[in-house]
Structure 1
């Protein structure tokens, strides 16, 4: 009897330690979730909209090169930026520099299109980026227009930086047709699920394994 009680207590102690570790991991996950939700709240975003000269293959390829130039330039500008206000100030101060970077790429590839950069509030359709869904609505944004700006466009989030490595290409007319002013109150949706996160962690798996093993062990001991 004493041995059985000792074994039971050992198993229980292991489970308690495992649960505590999992709770700590979950707390870290929740904290990260809250920080992400705050950072990507609508009022903290500056979005990016690049419009190609036309839908020709050459102009569409050029649009992506201009995108890369703009992102490279703003990545340097935002290296130490922690607030939207500071990001807006730097964009306003270095607007010509961003335009020059875009025009250099255009000229280097044999084109002579002008580039304009506008900062303001613009209508955006619903978009999904890396597990974050932004509802349709009006957002502060930087709009880069290449030449006649009649081609398909590219959307993303400029600040906080969410564009790198993402390619979101869509038709301007079809996208804007999806915009519904009635839906501006939509909330940003995050696909992070804390419970699934815990279950996928090392500690979550260990708890599951230990629980199964201890249950089997207790059943075996009770039958002895």
Structure 2
């Protein structure tokens, strides 16, 4: 009976320690996000639904809009210039997205806005952006009820395949000059891995008694 109680207490303590560590890590990430968010503008596209066709359409609209934005703004646009461009060209970008979708056989409306949104932790090339609230250009396609796609519009970190992309040195330099040096280092640092040794296994092994060999 005592052994079962000890096992239960051991498991409970391990779970509480794990939950506390995860909560502490998330709190630290959100605090970091709050410090760097004023220098970042994200890009967020919501698909009409989770159907294969709507998800594929979302990616096509994403690529078309990003190409349009970057081509028209140029490579040296600042954060405020990027926001100003989006506000002043919002209606035209929405119309262009709708016309583009019609050429593909879809009659969905497109809605674009600058909004504040909570994002999970995301890796872009060799940089990790922590979870937290960021200002974002949000594009809603149709009902906007499908899985979404997001990237960093400023500094330019929007890649079609962000898992394998390499962050441009120019974008890194913008970040380095815009945020605190210690925060910049954290963006390049791999997320800490939590290693928890299950004492339960040790306890079980400790309590096992060796079985004597049968005498011949």
Q: Which category describes the TM-score, using the shorter chain as reference length?
A: 0.5 to 0.7
Question: Is 1:149 aligned to residue 148 of structure 2?
Answer: no
Q: Distance in 2 between matches of 1:165 and 1:148?
A: 23
Q: How many residues are treated as equivalent by the alignment?
A: 137
Q: Which residue number corresponds to residue 217 of structure 1?
A: none
Q: Which residue number corresponds to residue 102 of structure 1?
A: 97
Question: Is 1:56 aligned to residue 47 of structure 2?
Answer: no
Task: Give the C-alpha shift of residue 187 in structure 1.
Answer: 7.3
Question: Is 1:76 aligned to residue 74 of structure 2?
Answer: no
Q: Deviations over 1:78-107 (max 9, x none)?
A: 314442111111111111222122112211
Q: Distance in 1 between matches of 2:69 and 2:161?
A: 15
TM-score, structure 1 normalization: 0.56
Q: 1:95 to 1:189 in 2, by over 3 A?
A: same
Question: Is 1:189 aligned to residue 189 of structure 2?
Answer: no
Question: Is 1:67 aligned to residue 62 of structure 2?
Answer: yes
Q: Distance in 2 between matches of 1:188 and 1:140?
A: 22
RMSD over aligned CA atoms reads: 2.4
Contact 2:117-2:136 at 8 Å conserved across structures: yes
Computing the radius of gyration from Cα coordinates, the structure with the larger value is 1
Task: Give the C-alpha shift of residue 43 in structure 1.
Answer: 1.9
Question: Is 1:124 aligned to residue 105 of structure 2?
Answer: no
Q: Which residue number corresponds to residue 136 of structure 1?
A: 131
Contact 2:97-2:110 at 8 Å conserved across structures: yes
Task: Give the C-alpha shift of residue 72 in structure 1.
Answer: 1.0
TM-score, structure 2 normalization: 0.58
Task: Give the C-alpha shift of residue 167 in structure 1.
Answer: 5.1
Q: Distance in 2 between matches of 1:118 and 1:93?
A: 11
Task: Give the C-alpha shift of residue 152 in structure 1.
Answer: 0.6
Which runs of 5 or more residues in structure 1 are unaligned? 1-40, 169-185, 194-224
